Structure 1
Amino acid sequence: MDNVSKQIICINWGNKYGADYINRLYAMVARNITPPFTFTCFTDNPQGIRQDVRAEPLPYLSFELPKTQKGIWPKCRLWNKTLADLSGPVLFLDLDVVITGNLDCFFSFGKPDDVILARNPSNPLEKLGQTSIYRFPVGKLVPLLDEFAKAPLDVAETYKYEQRYVTRNAPGGVKFWPKPWVLHFRHHCRPTFPLNYVTQAKCPASSKVVIFPGDLNPTDAIQGRYHSDEPIRTRREHLQLLWKKGRNRSIPAHLRHYILPTDWVANLWKE
């Protein structure tokens, strides 16, 4: 694919992420890609988004999304036949990824008609894909949307996560990015116990994108917090909880769930 084919897309709805996430993601992309490229955000609130970003309305859905506790199903809007005036392959990025290297290879890898996902290290035996960063041709995933529309809640409960639905049902199957390119922060970067108490999470030089599935996001990594819904604690305060009532995890889990503030995330995850 030539340079003109570098089309980045993202999606934002509701109040969880604001324009600062979109602007930050654009800036990281712009620092790590060879122009020309386009960056399109599909959103229900374009206010505050920088002018470099093409803000487009959320793609239409003919059905109501199911209410589920698992899976980010609103991303299914991107499986529409049309996405604004885009055509051909588009590279989707979650708003909370950290760009750590050049992105050009994500456009030259594989064939233009391929659906290419990151690998999900949480389910290695299942060979499950991760849609934190994935590429697909506009319109190719329409069959997934059509089937989802017939019984949204049944599909969501059967597959739990939209990336499992994509992995198993994408027309022609899926491919995966080379393992060193996309790293999972919790699985690949953070040190294991007991090194997590004395060593910051690492960023291998081979990586190009670090993803943050789950409830540990880049802000948490910068602040040194494993769970977004918990207060920031010093190493000593975290260890003292081992002997206090009200600890909601086993001792081994509590010891694992600690990270030091991560400097490289702070250096890269900015506008």
Structure 2
Amino acid sequence: MPGGDRVILCMKWGTKYGPEYVNRLYAMVRRHLRGDFRFVCLTDRSEGVRAEVECLPIPPLALPPGIPDRGWYKLTTFEADLHGLRGTALFLDLDVVIVDDMTPFFEVPGEFLIIHDWKRPWRITGNSSVYRYTLGAHADVLAKFRREFETIRKEFRNEQAYLSDAIHQKGQLQYWDDRWCASFKYHCIPRWPSNYWRAPFIPDGARILIFHGVMNPPDAQEGRSNGNWRRPLPAPWIADHWHE
């Protein structure tokens, strides 16, 4: 892994997630990452974010007017010069829950690491809830999207599918240890029908829990399925990790 500063990146736009998500994410990183780091939130709203977090603007995608861009914002983390940041960046979604030492995410060798898709593991597509790269190293991925956005948006379902393919084409795509990033939906909720009497649990070897779909950490903590057919029991242990 290249040397230099360790930068934790997250991104918050709009009002879906309040500042408490950023603040709790910072607190979890502080508890679980050994040594120094910078914590940067790319955002359009910095109100309520704790002082230890550097709030910087989300770079514009610079697409033509009228082109939907919200689902592709993460690609701006690959600006050639992202607010002058240097070193190695670990991007984390706001709604993850860190449950164990995350220092190894900066220690495993590789140019670009991402979660391997759980649902369709035969595909190269990664889940971009957690990815690591050298700042400024993949500006070509963003530049290509800006040039060929119409074709890319037709060919790829979302940002993580395009990102995975683009890095794969360069021969630099690698995946985290399968145990490290666990899906709450797939790995923490017991299989049917035992989900009706067994509470969700932290899988062996998990370091970060990923909340994708309709349940976020506060929903899982209280046992709100929000329509998910798995209908988990409450997971009160989330409060032991997801707090400031």
**Residues 126-135 or 56-65, more deviating:** 56-65
Q: How many angstroms does 1:153 deviate by? A: 4.1
Match of 1:47?
47
TM-score with structure 1 length normalisation? Answer: 0.83
Q: How does 1:1-271 map to 2 (within 5 A)?
A: 5-64=5-64, 66-67=67-68, 72-111=71-110, 114-170=111-167, 171-227=170-226, 256-271=229-244
**CA deviation map 1:148-206 (0-9, x unaligned):** 11243431231102111111111333101111111111111111111110011110241
**CA deviation map 1:29-84 (0-9, x unaligned):** 1010112111011111111110111111112332258438xx93111111211122
What's the Cα RMSD here? 2.0
Q: How many angstroms does 1:5 deviate by? A: 2.9
Distance 1:214 1:157 in 2: 23
**CA deviation map 1:14-40 (0-9, x unaligned):** 111121110010011101011211101
Distance 2:188 2:213 in 1: 15
Of the two, which has the highest radius of gyration? 1
Specify the code of the residue in structure 2 equivalent to 1:211.
Answer: I
Distance 1:127 1:265 in 2: 31
SS in 2 for 1:72: helix
SS in 2 for 1:11: strand
SS in 2 for 1:55: strand
Unaligned runs of 5+ in 2: none
Match of 1:245?
none
SS in 1 for 2:114: strand
CA contact (8 A) 1:3 1:36 kept: no
Distance 1:169 1:192 in 2: 35
CA contact (8 A) 1:61 1:77 kept: yes
Tell me: CA distance 1:63–1:266, structure 2 relative to 1, closer, same or farther (3 Å): same
CA contact (8 A) 2:117 2:123 kept: no
Counting aligned pairs with the same residue, the percent is: 34
Tell me: CA distance 1:5–1:206, structure 2 relative to 1, closer, same or farther (3 Å): same
Distance 2:36 2:236 in 1: 30
SS in 2 for 1:219: helix
Distance 2:132 2:222 in 1: 31
Specify the code of the residue in structure 2 equivalent to 1:193.
Answer: W
CA contact (8 A) 2:81 2:136 kept: yes
Specify the code of the residue in structure 1 equivalent to 2:62.
Answer: S
Specify the code of the residue in structure 2 equivalent to 1:28.
Answer: M
TM-score with structure 2 length normalisation? Answer: 0.92
